[in-house]
Amino acid sequence: MYKKHIFPRGCLWLLVLTLIMTKVQAGRHYDVAAYVYPAYVSDDARLRPFWPMGMGEWETVMTMQQRNPGHYWKRYPLWGYVNEADPAVMEMEINQAADHGVNVFIFDWYWFDGRPFMETTLTNGFLQARNRDRMQFYLMWANHDVLNYWDTRIAHLGEENVIWRGGIDRKEFEKICLRNIELFFRQPNYYKIEGKPVFMIYDVKNFIDGLGGIDEAADAVKWFRKEVRKAGFPDLELQLTMWSPNLNYSGFDAGKSDKPEDAFVRKIGFNSASHYQFCHFLNVNDEYPHIVEQAAAEWERLEHDFSIPYYPHVSLGWDNSPRTRQSAVVRNNTPENVEQALRKAKAYVDARPKLHPLITINSWNEWTETSYLQPDNVYGYGYLDAVKRVFVEEK
């Protein structure tokens, strides 16, 4: 005799909710954002002191075996040593990125000696590309000190001479903020969260030290927000580049807070956070799957310890030996294993429906750190295809 199955009311609602969430996630849009390191150009005279051949840091990639005969690092780009400040080249790269599921570029953006540095990839290449509307972008202010490691002729000496300081004073800060609002935030494809233009700061310590302290930095951020609102935007989305869990800045008294790191971040006025590289918070001299497990655990910790949203980050690898000869090396970072890391990041976002669906990747083109999506002689289009499988083919 057929027996009708009766679901308890709570179980039925759970089943319905599960089916709804599965349907929503299946059609969910993701903002897959890859960092762009803008040093692969041939039209920027300020790069010549580091790379005299006139092709930017492609020189470091191309001359690796010449400088270090027999070294295991033997990589070259399938697209050639292209000038990424050429809009025709950038059009090709935009199409390749967008077709494979990368729809946001985060440009490493530099400012030294009172003017921009390595900006031509963005201004001459990306913003002049005819298909730029296929890709959104935002700025990650790379305000770190510049040492001599970019110059492979002397980097191996380990002298760590400082060429430029990354910290700037209030007057200089206001100058770059007003310039960025006008030149970049107003661009129709500048990336925004709830209408707020996103601006990321790489080195928080340099930011604070340059402005004169915690209170001064917080006041500068308040001024920045005011100027962004005056420009017609609802507010600024200030994004923190996470490093190791040492954000309780020594000059800041968190008082009785049981989360001193969060108190520090709220004091400055950050709205959200992500990472730039696994090497900033993990031992990367390890097997890639193990590194990813540790990274996923850190995502969970950050969600618990901070009041601002954290956007999951995936690095493709790490090997800095083209610059330094010797390096910690991520092992077994195959496209298949990277695909699993991307799935973890996607699952993290899916499990948090209220979280803006942003995932950051290192990177589009960090060749000399061996963490890039662009096709090479080792894996071909493997990394790009991994992104495509996760974020395009399985929508």
pLDDT of residue 78: 98
Per DSSP, the residues of 217-228 read: HHHHHHHHHHHH
Mean pLDDT per 10-residue interval, the chain, length 395 residues: 45 45 64 98 91 96 95 97 98 98 98 95 98 98 88 74 91 98 98 98 94 96 98 98 67 59 90 97 97 98 94 98 92 98 98 98 98 98 98 85
Instruction: Please state whether the peptide bond connecting residue 363 to the residue before it is cis, i.e. omega within 30 degrees of 0.
Output: yes
The C-alpha atoms of residue 251 and residue 213 are separated, in whole angstroms, by: 7
pLDDT of residue 4: 45
The C-alpha atoms of residue 201 and residue 277 are separated, in whole angstroms, by: 14
- Domain positions in the chain are 28-391
Name the architecture of domain 28-391: Alpha-Beta Barrel (3.20)
pLDDT of residue 288: 98
Cα pseudo-dihedral 58, 60, 64, 67, rounded to 10: 140
Q: Please give the model's pTM, rounded to 2 decimal places.
A: 0.91
pLDDT of residue 325: 84
The C-alpha atoms of residue 173 and residue 331 are separated, in whole angstroms, by: 40
